Chains A and B, each alone.
Chain A
């Protein structure tokens, strides 16, 4: 198993204004067995600034906090989904809310995954691992990304 993980690096991005949440996420990601590269953004403006460059490197998956001051996750989602070159990038909404309305709203606007932020470390590690592995199938097996939904 290790051999394959060594070869395939998953490129992951997270936009979250909360420094503790960013650290928590990074530690949980490091605790999975998945080889990865992580880039962090502190708010929606920094994130959109990055993607405004048409040459920028794209991740396999972007984790997007819903409640960010200034430019919210939902605003970022709408702007990102309006950029054709980002169509293949999976977007995971990372939120404290578990309201059905938020789930329907974000998935309806083009997000692929909805994650309610887990409260403990072990759960978070498992959730991240599951999301990355499922996402991998959609990238590697030619499945239709337009209908890729996961609510966890």
Chain B
């Protein structure tokens, strides 16, 4: 049988990092915000070892502070799009509260590091989640549209088409063809 997998949070890469630190016998403190802290510095000879182990899982440690912030924004957006928590605040207020920087600063930094705006990125994540749900084939398009908080099925299908260039029904056809073919 075939297993399709998905990963909806940074829990997995965090776990991988923790396991590797355990193996190297390094004490650390795990923070819920998505980073790990160790007392003092890592002995210089251990760093290449750690990087090498992590790279096998496509996990990398970020050094640059700005890049860290961009990654934290991505993590938060991922969480917002992939959980069904009701949003009381606007996204910009939420990011400002969580990160403690002005939205202007966050959005400017994000755009300069990722080639796209926070809004475009969020739409992309939402469309990606929609694709996964369509492939899982358990919910109707209307249910998916509701689960992703779109105001209507029409709006959902329009945004999908705008973002991918293909319609929802063509997407289904292509997925079906890939399932039936070897690819």
Contact = CB atoms under 8 A, between A and B. Distances in A.
Nearest to A147: B131
Interface residues of B, number: 30
Contacts of B178: 108, 110, 146
Interface in A102-126: 103-104, 107-110, 114
A137 B116 contact: yes
Question: Chain B interface secondary structure, helix, strand, loop or mixed?
Answer: helix
A146 B171 CA distance: 12
Given A1-B112, A144-B132, A110 B183 contact: yes
Given A137-B114, A137-B124, A144-B128, A108 B164 contact: no
B11 interface: no
A144 B58 CA distance: 14
B173 A104 contact: yes
A1 to B, nearest CB: 4
B53 interface: no
A143 B81 CA distance: 13
Contacts of A11: none
Interface string B157-173: 00000001110001101
A151 B174 CA distance: 12
B177 A104 contact: yes
B72 interface: no
A36 interface: no
B166 A143 contact: no
A147 B170 contact: no
A147 B181 CA distance: 15
Nearest to A78: B183
A81 interface: yes
Given A81-B183, A104-B170, A110-B183, A151 B177 contact: no
B113 interface: yes
B166 A82 contact: no
Contacts of A150: 164-165
A136 B116 CA distance: 10
Nearest to B5: A144
Contacts of B135: 147
Contacts of A114: 165
Contacts of B112: 1, 3-4
Nearest to B167: A151
Contacts of B166: 103, 107, 149, 151
Interface in A48-91: 81-82
Interface of A: 1, 3-4, 81-82, 100, 103-104, 107-110, 114, 133-134, 136-137, 140-144, 146-147, 149-152
Interface of B: 6-7, 58, 74, 111-116, 121, 124-125, 128, 131-132, 135, 164-166, 170-171, 173-175, 177-178, 181-183
